[in-house]
Chains A and B, each alone.
Chain A
Amino acid sequence: MKAVCWHGTHDVRVENVSEPRLLNHRDALVKITLTAICGSDLHLYDGYIPSMHKGDILGHEFMGEVIEVGRDVQNLKKGDRVVVPFTICCGRCYFCKSGLWSLCDNSNPNSALCEKTFGCSSAGLFGYSHLFGGFAGGQAQYVRVPFADVGPIKVPDGVRDEQALFLSDIFPTGYMAAENCNIQPGDVVAVWGCGPVGQFAIRSAFMLGASRVIALDHYPARLDMARRGQADTLDYEDVDVVEKLKEMTGGRGPDACIDAVGMEAHGTTVDALYDRAMQAVHLESDRPHALRQAVQACRKGGTVSVPGVYGGFIDRFPIGAAFAKGLTFKMGQTHVPRYMNRLMQHIQAGDIDPSFVITHRMKIDDAADGYHTFRYDPDECIKVVMKPS
């Protein structure tokens, strides 16, 4: 089968590899009908995530048709159309049972390695390095899905593939980011980053009762898309972000701030340049420019919600300001299964059509171009989806 394989920094290749097989009793095999490239795949593409091996199959946003199920899978059958969460969850450990799905104890065969790196084992992820289990990903024609009786949900007739696909990752991620803000009626929410996660965070914040959402980015097409979601927008290169946000909120600051940017933040202020320099000589692993601004802008007593991926350590974090303001921080990998059914109902009800975020459609054979465009053309390219056939 064809699969998108990682071969080094800025080197992905579509190769012919063997088809997957059932390996555990709760597995299912899925024939993929649609898959996507995620912003966090770019961290792999840029070589920031350790423990990648040449030949690893990428991709964690995918959906398709069940073609085979293991002995212990009772709820799915051949022919079911399903969308699969990117977090792999056993459903039986303390964390899965508590709804903390992305912290599953049992779904990472390399949990000891993960524990050594982060101090904890987290759930296995599709196509996201050996730290997270080394699972073959879904930018391919077929994929093996472990714990298929827990993760995948059936897609109802009437919901198109392009509408359902993003329940695998980015829609629940944006929604959880907004939910973590603990939005009270009338709240103003600021969102750093108008990539796909930010776009869903904007719309989710309104769904959860925000009166106003202010979105920050630099690229016109992304700011346009944010405005189509009813957000007010700011270009971070044009204004002093922290001052402007205060001004727009009657001197208070936003009630909640969402950092949908993560470790590869852009920016031209002094602290952003510091991060670039430190990173170049390996003295700092992540660039927390957006996070710093979020802390500085947030109103006292507010919440900073971090769906943006961070991997290592950051410098010059305004912990004093955070303490003085009594901020709450909520962060972490998305607990996807918690949200899938609820959000599918919103899609069926017509409250939202997630396919708005797609800007590029291509065949999986053109994946290398897809990655390149996504990485180097952030204005034109917001979301790439690929058909495997």
Chain B
Amino acid sequence: MQIITHRKHAVNITQAERIASAIGGGLLAVFGLQRRSPAGIAMGLIGADLLRRGITGHSYAYEAMGIRTAPRGQGSETTSVPYELGVRVDRAITIARPRNEVYQFWRSVTNLPHFMKNLVSVTVYDGDRSHWVAKGPAGRTVEWDAVIHNERPNELIAWRSLPGSDVDHAGSVWFKDAPGGRGTEVSVELQYNPPAGAIGAIFASLWGKEPGQEIQEDLHRLKELLELGEVLTVEGQPSGRRSQNRRGFGRDMEVQRASEESFPASDAPSYNPVAL
């Protein structure tokens, strides 16, 4: 996970707030410096920063929290993640299948919930617009509309969320031939502005999973689906934990058993299903 920063800072405070900040900060600084005490020095420093933020129009605190109160500038209609905000994730995986097969699977966006664990559903409106529902924090769902604004068949799918989304984000997935006949390299670049900004993302990664890890796990499930046809699981297996020893615990999916008729005759096995 990479916190996005730039050297040239953007204005992210409204004009009115800038003026208030500059005046208030200036007064606080003067007041604080008149009192020759530690408290006075502290006030002086805080006042000086408020003054700085009023003059430059840039608040580091707002930047860290993903807040931008200033009106957005030119080009903002086609940008989902504003300048200087958000978190970026880059992950890649190699899949031993041909590039067009991997691309086609991903491009049919209704396939995505099969390997993206947090996705509940994707519904296509028309060609390149779709509606997405995902699991959010604390058991809620987040929703957004997305548009695929750039695609090159068998090479690239680039999408962004549309205004009104619960989470602003944009990303692209590239498909390249892996060297030496190893299959396809799938590279995902994702930029998103989580609800509490970069600080929110850091806290989320301390308490739960880092978003990069979730994407890596999703890509791994994609690899299993394409190479094996199903995702290997251990859910439903026995253990010495009390909660798992009730009969019937486990998956919805009914795994087909090979039928008796499909085997050649053999001596009766010693396993009697009834006896268990």
Mark B206-232 against chain A: 1 for CB-CB distance below 8 A, else 0.
000000010011001001100111111
Q: Which of A290-324 contact B (CB under 8 A)?
A: none
- B181 → A minimal CB distance (Å): 9
Mark A104-127 against chain B: 1 for CB-CB distance below 8 A, else 0.
011101011001100001001000
Considering only CB atoms, which chain A residue lies closest to B269 in the complex?
Answer: A79
Q: Within 8 Å CB of A106, what residues of B? A: 223-224, 227-228, 232
Q: Which of B227-247 contact A (CB under 8 A)?
A: 227-242, 244-247
Interface size class of A (residues with CB under 8 A): 35 or more
Q: Would A17 and B269 be within 8 Å (CB), given that A57-B239, A94-B94 are in contact? A: no
Q: Is A136 an interface residue (CB 8 A)?
A: yes
Q: Is the CB of A70 within 8 A of B247?
A: no
Q: Within 8 Å CB of B242, what residues of A? A: 55
Interface size class of B (residues with CB under 8 A): 35 or more
Considering only CB atoms, which chain B residue lies closest to A74 in the complex?
Answer: B258
Q: Is the CB of A17 within 8 A of B239?
A: yes
Tell me which of A69, A93, A97, A135 contacts B237 (CB under 8 A). A135
Q: Would A136 and B239 be within 8 Å (CB), given that A71-B255, A93-B227, A146-B232 are in contact? A: yes
- A318 → B minimal CB distance (Å): 36
Mark B234-267 against chain A: 1 for CB-CB distance below 8 A, else 0.
1111111110111101110001111000011011
Q: Is A335 an interface residue (CB 8 A)?
A: no
Give the docked Cα–Cα distance between A130 and B227 (Å).
23
Q: Within 8 Å CB of A146, what residues of B? A: 232
Q: Is A252 an interface residue (CB 8 A)?
A: no
Q: Within 8 Å CB of B234, what residues of A? A: 23, 109, 133-136
Tell me which of B96, B235, B266 contacts A93 (CB under 8 A). B96
Q: Is B276 an interface residue (CB 8 A)?
A: yes
Q: Within 8 Å CB of B276, what residues of A? A: 19
Q: Is A286 an interface residue (CB 8 A)?
A: no
Give the docked Cα–Cα distance between A73 and B259 (Å).
12
Q: Within 8 Å CB of B231, what residues of A? A: 109
Q: Which of A20-43 contact B (CB under 8 A)?
A: 20-27, 31
Interface with B: A1-9, A183-191, A240-248, A271-279, which one?
A1-9
Give the docked Cα–Cα distance between A261 and B238 (Å).
32
Q: Would A5 and B236 be within 8 Å (CB), given that A27-B255, A90-B228 are in contact? A: no
Q: Is B34 an interface residue (CB 8 A)?
A: no
Q: Is the CB of B238 within 8 A of A92?
A: no
Q: Within 8 Å CB of A93, what residues of B? A: 96, 227
Q: Within 8 Å CB of A22, what residues of B? A: 255, 257
Q: Within 8 Å CB of B238, what residues of A? A: 1, 3, 17-20, 57, 136, 140
Q: Is the CB of A55 within 8 A of B241?
A: yes
Q: Is the CB of A31 within 8 A of B271?
A: yes
Tell me which of B216, B227, B241, B271 contacts A53 (CB under 8 A). B241
Q: Is A67 an interface residue (CB 8 A)?
A: yes
Give the docked Cα–Cα distance between A182 and B233 (Å).
38
Give the docked Cα–Cα distance between A25 and B229 (Å).
9
Q: Is B182 an interface residue (CB 8 A)?
A: yes
Q: Is the CB of A23 within 8 A of B237?
A: yes
- A51 → B minimal CB distance (Å): 13
- B70 → A minimal CB distance (Å): 39
Q: Is the CB of A70 within 8 A of B256?
A: yes
Q: Which of B77-114 contact A (CB under 8 A)?
A: 94, 96
Q: Would A78 and B263 be within 8 Å (CB), given that A3-B240, A24-B233, A71-B257 are in contact? A: yes
Give the docked Cα–Cα distance between A136 and B245 (Å).
13
List the 7 shortest-distance A-B pairs measured between CB atoms, nearest first: A5-B240, A55-B240, A55-B241, A67-B271, A71-B256, A79-B269, A17-B238
Binding site for A on B (CB under 8 A): 94, 96, 182-183, 213, 216-217, 220, 223-224, 227-242, 244-247, 249-251, 255-258, 263-264, 266-271, 276
25 example contacts (A-B, Cβ-Cβ < 8 A) are as follows A7-B240, A20-B237, A20-B238, A21-B237, A25-B229, A55-B239, A55-B240, A57-B239, A66-B269, A68-B271, A69-B257, A69-B258, A70-B256, A79-B267, A90-B232, A92-B96, A92-B228, A106-B224, A109-B231, A111-B217, A112-B217, A112-B220, A116-B213, A121-B220, A140-B238
